Amino acid sequence: MPENGNRRIKIMEPGENLYMGGGILRRGDRVGLSCCSNGLLEADKGSLELLKERLALIGLETVESPFLYRGVTAFSGTGTQRAHALMDFYRDETVKAVFDVSGGDMANEVLTDLDFEMISASDKIFFGYSDLTTVINAIYTKTGKKSGLYQLRNLTGPCWQEQFSQFRETLMEGGSMLNNFSFHFLRGTRMEGTVLGGNIRCLLKLAGTQYWPDFTGKLLFLECNGGEVPQIVAYLNQLSQIGVFCQISGILLGTFSRMESRGLHPTVEEQLLRMIRPELSVAKTFQIGHGSDSRCLMIGDHIRIHQALQEQKPPA
Q: Hey, which residues does 187 pair with through a beta bridge?
A: 282
| Residue type (1 letter), 127 | F
> Phi and psi of 16, rounded to 5°?
-150, 165
- Distances in Å between the Cα of 127 and the Cα atoms of 103, 117, 139, 177, 184 are 12, 18, 11, 16, 26
> How far apart (Å, rounded) are the C-alpha atoms in residues 89 and 98?
7
- Distances in Å between the Cα of 219 and the Cα atoms of 15, 196, 248, 261 are 18, 6, 6, 26
- Catalytic residue list contains 49: no
Among residues 302, 19, 297, 300, which one has the least CA distance to residue 149? 297
Q: Which of 65, 281, 290, 294 is catalytic?
A: 290
Under a CB-based contact definition with an 8 Å cutoff, are residues 239 and 208 in contact? no
Under a CB-based contact definition with an 8 Å cutoff, are residues 164 and 54 in contact? yes
- Catalytic residue list contains 130: yes
> Phi and psi of 129, rounded to 5°?
-140, 180
- Distances in Å between the Cα of 188 and the Cα atoms of 128, 184, 284, 288 are 30, 10, 12, 20
| Residue type (1 letter), 162 | E
Q: Which of 76, 184, 223, 281 is catalytic?
A: 223
- Catalytic residue list contains 279: no
Q: Which of 130, 176, 182, 281 is catalytic?
A: 130
Active site residues: 130, 223, 290
